[in-house]
Amino acid sequence: MNNLQTQHPIALSLLINEDIYQLNTPILAIADDPLPALTVEKPAEVAPSIPPKAQPTAIPTLTQNIKPNYKYIGDNNKSVLILVNETDFDILNNADMLALNKLLAARKLEQKDVAILNIQKNTHLNFTQLKEFFGFNKLLLFGINPKNLEITGIVANQICNFEGVPILGTWHLKLMQLDEKKKLTFWAEFKKLI
């Protein structure tokens, strides 16, 4: 230890991470003589013991915060979540997507300002998980029963609050394309929401 430049115990503990022992006895020289033969005594026979009753041990469980892997489009820049119900497409068919983009443009929004999620392509959805993932402050439902998302107290085509979030539930986009009266009813509430 003559080469050490410090004798401070804390510094040494940081530099040396193995146990070091100081011996005050001289080191024995290895003799040229072979070691004497060792005799091994046979242990006395012992009666087998009965093991104690096994105690159940708790197996620790790992709780993982696995974030859902939702399939959606948009960047959600304005914290608006739009849920659609489309069985045949990942999000929407071209005509419905064009209609939705026109609605957004009329309120000076773009696709990057919202998140659009198809409930048919994402399983086990509920309001709490969606809120945690998307952090939305407005929710728009097209052709979706709010009860399927564990949302209560929502009236169709009226802005209602659920857990502090304004929600507008309305018809499927296809139905609004075919019925001008439905489109006008929706538009009156949509202008208030966004």
Q: 18-27, 45-54, 55-64, 129-138 — which one is most confidently predicted on average? A: 129-138
pLDDT digits (tens, 9 = 90+) for 31-44: 555 555 555 556 56
pLDDT at residue 94 is higher than 60? yes
State the Cα–Cα distance between residues 87 and 30, nearest whole angstrom.
84
What confidence score (pLDDT) does residue 123 get?
79
Two structure tokens written together for 96? 């419905």
What confidence score (pLDDT) does residue 65 get?
55
Domain ranges of the chain: 72-193
Q: Beta strands 165-170 and 72-73: pairing type?
A: unpaired
Q: Which CATH architecture has domain 72-193?
A: 3-Layer(aba) Sandwich (3.40)
